[in-house]
Amino acid sequence: MSLEGRAAVITGATSGIGFRVACALSRRGVKLVLGGRRADVLEQHCEVLPDALYLAGDIAEPDMPGRLLELALERHGRLDIVVNNAGQNHNGPIESVDVEQVCGMARVNVEAAFRMAYLAVKHFRDVGRGHLVNTSSVLGFKVRPYAGAYAGTKYAVEALSEALRLELAGTPIKVTCVEPGLVITDLHRDHADRPEVAQDVAEPLMPEEVAEMIVYALEQPDHIATPRLMILPQSQSI
């Protein structure tokens, strides 16, 4: 199904999966609103992506999700797709984990994600169609040592996504939860030990590979739902 002429909001679009989704959608003629914290990076993206606007700010601020939606409607005249992708990853053993960082992660991964999700589906119900994509993780189903708090935030995203899908079943509004395994993104830039080494994953996923799977879900015909897409490196044994 062609996406040309549609409009999308993408959070966490400065790098990684969010930026690669923006590139993939732009190639298909989608108009974009990019959200993220680094204005200089977003400005550079919009210089090379046609019909792309940006709004820089902290997605955890209560008004930020609404401002992104309003910008899309004001400048593009419509909003068909929301890729709810902004996230943080803070893990650690009991004796050294920073609880304040864990709580900050929960504000982004849960509170901000919930705000964006509910605003998106309310708008989609008003206009009669739309597609919400929530970025979860394989840790939305599983846990491993030191990563319980991060997994907990993704369990919450999974629960909300499934409940919204059930509530919207039978309507033209879709909800997809994308569950990548290990992806090399900026989420790992502050890790002392490279995750692909620590987890013994020979060939991790690249953000553009996950982006293409998200586009796959968005391009499905109206009668086909893709509630979950789990994407793992072949060598990841989690």
Catalytic center residues: 150
189: tokens are 């830039």
Calculate ∠ Cα 38-174-9, nearest 5°.
Answer: 20
Q: Amino acid identity of 208?
A: E
> Is residue 21 a contact partner of residue 41, using CB atoms and an 8 Å limit?
no
Measured distance CA(31)–CA(25) in Å, rounded: 8
Token pair 């015909």: residue: 221
Give the Cα separation of 15 and 222 in Å (integer): 30
Separation CA 163–CA 175 (nearest Å): 10
Look up tokens 């705000």; give the residue.
115
SS3 176: strand
DSSP H helical ranges for 38-190: 39-48, 64-76, 99-106, 113-127, 148-168
The counts of H helices and E strands in the chain are 8, 7
